[in-house]
Amino acid sequence: MSHVHHISSQHLSLEQIETIISQKYTLALSQDAEERIVRCFEYLKQKMSQTDKSIYGINTGFGSLYKNKISHNDLEQLQINLMMSHACGTGDEVPAEVIKLMLLLKIQSLAYGHSGVQLQTVKRLIDFYNRDIYPVVYQQGSLGASGDLAPLAHLCLPLIGLGEVYYQGYKLASKHVLEMFSWEPITLKAKEGLALLNGTQFMSAYGVFSILQAKRLSKLADTIGALSLDGFDGRIEPFSHLIHQIRPHKGQLETAETIKQLLEGSELIVAEKKHVQDPYSFRCIPQVHGASKEVIRYAEEVFTTEINSVTDNPNIFPEEDEIISGGNFHGQPLAMSMDFLAIALAELGSISERRTYQLISGSRGLPEFLVAEPGLNSGFMISQYTAASIVSQTKQLCTPASIDSIPSSNGQEDHVSMGANAATKLYQVVHNVERVLAIELMNAAQAIEFRRPLQTSPVLEKLVAAFRTNVPFISTDRVLHDDIMQSINFLKVYRPELALSTEV
């Protein structure tokens, strides 16, 4: 039987989101959330029947068209027109794993009762989530202020029977899916289109996905880095607590301790060394990986606040009898933290590629390019080229999006965050770094075989044994693409057996 998560005003953490998604929870509204949504909607309906005042986006046009008053009879058509006119997305489709998060985060934001939507509108979004109905959304079109207008228009078009969805692997016109379940299209009331389209859920969904992946990649970078250190015949002294206590950055302290734990019981690490110092890519793992951990923590803090927030406009306060037009849809905090996170992850990939380069260099008694007969065999030579190519592209993807702004809506929306572009390029950085780490693991596991009969630590020997069920030791040249793909697939599912005492 499926677990149920009740959407409420209770604090939602990224760990809870990961559990909800990975364990396939279904969603339902708590009684409190239902009451909040209904109270807000009824307040707005009553307010609209009693006032002739202009209230932005409810009885006026949008953006710079706020000056145009809309007659009472046209208020529903105004919201439908908003949905259709704003569906201007283009480019590649947003992957299903991100769409699922967009739905969850949109439902959460609407459930606080400050948005003026009908209860049935939120329940229909929950139906989409629970039945794995994924609206077709496009990656390009949002400026990351006024909310993610174009992507959220595409996300919500199926509510009114427009747009397309994926259902059970097929792309269908949404009206056909509504017919399948005998659902009537939602009749949008005043403010509803605006509540659905204003908001940061495109940026937030990409950010939440990327942070959850970043936490995983951070742990993998430590684990693979430790294996590379042993494969390279590296030294343990740079991980001594004495060094890190006199420069006690939290991430640095955590990383040094983690590497020592990972190498506990290794015969290789305690073997006598001929060299007195290792290259930075090994020696400075605590300083570099640790700095990235701090950025991941910062991004998580920003996004935890965001997913527990109301981000549409205007905001409705029934208790205070206020409807206030502000700017909670502006993605600046998200844009800046996603740009920062991209840099932090890129550095995990950058230092990883350097360790791969050192492993294939023919140093420290290892054969050139990690193959027994170099010359006849090129071995792992070109795997480093691939890693270098990916790292170079990742550097280009780290150009910040958040420093750009192009005015829109006749100058009314004159500063935007460009956080949507920060989001999609961060997603690509996440996948790039995973690939670079997979290439390092392939090289590190190969290097360890040339150290036999000495063993690395029990924890890392388990990693090598698990990896070998996917990728064999390579004695002569073969098509390495297949092995790289197997390494990437292995990393997607591998969780280090060691319960690391330090969490990101």
Q: What is the reported pLDDT for 66?
A: 65
Six-digit token string for 343: 């840099």
The string over 303-333, giving b where at least 16 C-beta atoms fall within 10 Å of a residue's C-beta and e elsewhere, is: bbebbebbbbbbbbebeeeebeeeebbbbbb
Specify the pLDDT at position 501.
42
98: its two tokens: 């991100």
Q: What pLDDT score was predicted for residue 58?
A: 77
E strands, 16-163, are: 26-29, 90-93, 133-135, 138-140
Which residues are catalytic, by number? 56
Topology classification of domain 206-314+324-493: Fumarase C; Chain A, domain 2 (1.20.200)
Strand partners, 374: 377
**Domain boundary assignment for the chain:** 4-199, 206-314+324-493
**Per-residue model confidence as pLDDT tens digits over 419-461:** 999 999 999 999 999 999 999 999 999 999 999 999 999 999 9
| pLDDT, position 404 | 94
pLDDT of residue 503: 43
Chain centroid, CA 339 distance in Å: 12
The kind and range of the H/E element at 102 are helix 96-110
What's the topology of domain 4-199? Fumarase C; Chain B, domain 1 (1.10.275)
Under-50 pLDDT residues of the chain: 497-504
What does the pLDDT read at residue 1? 56
C-alpha dihedral sign at 52, 55, 58, 64: positive
Q: What is the pLDDT of residue 142?
A: 95
